[in-house]
Amino acid sequence: MKKSILLGAFLLGALTAYGQTIADGLLYGQQGSYGTARFRGMSGAFGALGGDLTAIGTNPAGSVIFANHYASASLNYTGNQTDSNFNGTINEENDHDFTLNQAGVVLVYKNQKENAAITKFSLGLNYDDTRNYDDNLFIAGSNNISISEYFLNFANGVEVSNFQLLPNESVSGLYRFLGENEGFGVQQGFLGYQSFIIDGVDNNDPLNSLYVSNTGTGTFDQQLAQNTSGYQSKLSFNGALEIKNKISLGLNVNTHYIDYQRFTSFAEQNDNGALVDAVRFNNNLDVQASGISLQIGAIVKVTNKIRLGATYESPTWYEVDESISQSVSARRSDGSGGTINEVIDPDVINIFAPYNLRTPGSITGSFAYIFGKKGLLSVDYSSRDYSSLKFKPTNDAFFAANNQQASQDLTTAGTLRIGGEYRVKNWSLRAGYRSEESPYKDKNVMDDLTGYSLGLGYTWGQTTLDISYDRAERDYGQQLFDTGLTSSAAVNNIQNNIVATIGFNF
């Protein structure tokens, strides 16, 4: 099978792969609320405190703050409420999920020698689910732009002979051939053409490379159902030491893993008398990624009451594997009062070449005030330069465009965390606040995040039990598609988490 092809400049960039945009880079590069119940009850403000297994991931020097060996495990409930407003039509979706989101252990060794320079050292291992991707989104409303614009953007510039089946050639075979030889973008044009959503200006001319819509003009009723699932995790290998009971230094080697699935089903209907009056377009994306990062940190006991902390977290270097399967169906008139349902389901999984993604690192400064045995107040501030997000190989034209867009559209964002704890005998009462600035310069794309937390802990013997509740809210814009049909809905997401942690001193 040999086919000629003519592509415009836009399509040359679109051929590389699906979904590899700065929005997806941020999706993989941003962490959510995570950790033990004590950590989350104080909104993660632990950079100058330590003494918590998840806090090791904030400042690796925190593991040596433990007075003895310690292990813990946490169970998390997540409830997501996602509201959308698409051209005045409001919809709400909810999702609920339970996970074992944290488990770890730290071993602490004290130096029994008097006047020793190194008074303690520790070794730790901790696992955290740093992001839960389980969520549902439903967008519905009227629009004056059709899904045909998506297919037209990919088809225009491609000779129509590439979309037409040869004798004894199947839809699956040609779809696979186009993906292997011409790229994902040409496959999209093929789906639109074979389903009659678009048509060639002259289908009899094999060199024709211009296309028109068969969905007409006017008003279109559109719905987008998006279901995401999966998680992002971090496994920290930790070592730390304490010098003269004053200065704690620590190092983490972190391994990261992403397991992410996104199913989208788009539907469109119209009654404008066009040849095609109903369309459904399904995409099922699977992402698997693994990465590595480093952290170094320090905690200084300035006085018995004041502690200062500092942490540097390197960028995370990921290798990402993506695959996608697609299908499209369209209902059209048969010209005599009846209808034909055209279903194009290639039953092919596109497996894209692995690519590398570098997500930005961060620096964190922390302050804590200890009120003896009664309680504490802690503040963390982190800064992360999202414009340094980078796709590789950088000599790929599509990735180079992504990197340029990241440097133009993204910015440095700060995160403020404030937490407090008050102790009454065996009980601990906790509360916290966090504010995360948007990584985008334009906050209409994604606004700041605001979160609050409460927590309760009880200690008996060598065992601790902690429970926390935290709530976070963020507004963002959700485009229907990355090209062609780029209409956007306003989305509000509210996430509620309840975490229970049991810990053991030994």
Q: By C-alpha distance, which of 344, 346, 215, 190 is closest to 278?
A: 215
Centre a 10 Å sphere on the Cβ of residue 331 and count the other Cβ atoms it contains. Answer: 17
Mean pLDDT of 370-398: 94
Q: Is residue 13 part of a domain?
A: no
Centre a 10 Å sphere on the Cβ of residue 162 and count the other Cβ atoms it contains. Answer: 22
3 pLDDT higher than 90: no
The model's confidence at residue 29, banded by pLDDT at 50, 70 and 90, is confident
pLDDT at residue 225, as a whole number: 98
pLDDT at residue 33, as a whole number: 80
Are the C-beta atoms of residues 94 and 80 closer than 8 Å to each other? yes
pLDDT at residue 19, as a whole number: 52
Whole-Å CA distances, 477 to 116, 298, 315, 410: 57, 39, 26, 15
State the DSSP code for 499.
E
Q: By C-alpha distance, which of 446, 358, 501 is closest to 41?
A: 501
Q: Is residue 60 part of a domain?
A: yes
Is residue 6 exposed (0-12), middle (13-18) or buried (19+ Cβ within 10 Å)?
A: exposed
83 pLDDT higher than 70: yes
Q: Is residue 208 part of a domain?
A: no
485 pLDDT higher than 50: yes
> Which structural domain, as residue segments, surrounds residue 93?
22-147+226-505
Higher-pLDDT residue of 344 and 18 is 344
Mean pLDDT of 195-212: 97
Query: Taking the CA of residue 289 as centre, how many other CA atoms within 13 Å lie in the half-sphere pointing to its CB?
Result: 32
Q: Is residue 197 part of a domain?
A: no
Mean pLDDT of 491-506: 97
Q: By C-alpha distance, which of 66, 72, 81, 83 is closest to 40?
A: 72
> Count of domains in the chain?
1
Q: Is residue 405 part of a domain?
A: yes
pLDDT at residue 5, as a whole number: 39
Whole-Å CA distances, 465 to 75, 321, 458: 12, 39, 5
Helix (H) or strand (E) holding 402: helix 397-409
**For the chain, what percent of residues have pLDDT higher than 90?**
90
Q: Is residue 428 part of a domain?
A: yes
Are the C-beta atoms of residues 327 and 187 closer than 8 Å to each other? no
DSSP 3-state of 385: strand
Which pTM was predicted?
A: 0.92
CA gap 412, 228 in Å, rounded = 27
Q: By C-alpha distance, which of 70, 41, 40 is closest to 502?
A: 70
CA gap 401, 398 in Å, rounded = 5
- At residue 223, φ and ψ (nearest 5 deg) are -140, 140
The model's confidence at residue 47, banded by pLDDT at 50, 70 and 90, is very high
The model's confidence at residue 21, banded by pLDDT at 50, 70 and 90, is confident
The model's confidence at residue 337, banded by pLDDT at 50, 70 and 90, is confident
With residues binned 3-state (H G I as helix, E B as strand, rest as coil), the percentages for the chain, rounded to 5, are 15, 55, 30
Mean pLDDT of 342-362: 96
pLDDT at residue 2, as a whole number: 38
CATH number of residue 450's parent domain: 2.40.160.60
The model's confidence at residue 1, banded by pLDDT at 50, 70 and 90, is very low
Nearby residues of 159 by Cβ (< 8 Å), 6 or more positions away:
3, 4, 5, 6, 206, 207, 208, 209
| pLDDT, tens digit (0-9, with 9 covering 90-100), for 147-203 | 999 999 999 999 999 999 999 999 999 999 999 999 999 999 999 999 999 999 999
The model's confidence at residue 495, banded by pLDDT at 50, 70 and 90, is very high
Mean pLDDT of 114-142: 95
**Averaged pLDDT of the chain:** 94
pLDDT at residue 112, as a whole number: 87
Q: Is residue 140 part of a domain?
A: yes
Mean pLDDT of 68-88: 97
Whole-Å CA distances, 389 to 102, 285, 287, 322, 386: 27, 22, 18, 18, 6
Q: Is residue 183 part of a domain?
A: no
- The 3-state secondary structure of 151-209 reads HHHHHCCCCHHHCCCCCCCCHHHHHHHHHHHCCHHHHHHHHHHHCCCEEECCCCCCCCC
Whole-Å CA distances, 6 to 130, 201, 206, 209, 471: 44, 16, 12, 8, 52
Query: Taking the CA of residue 229 as centre, how many other CA atoms within 13 Å lie in the half-sphere pointing to its CB?
Result: 10
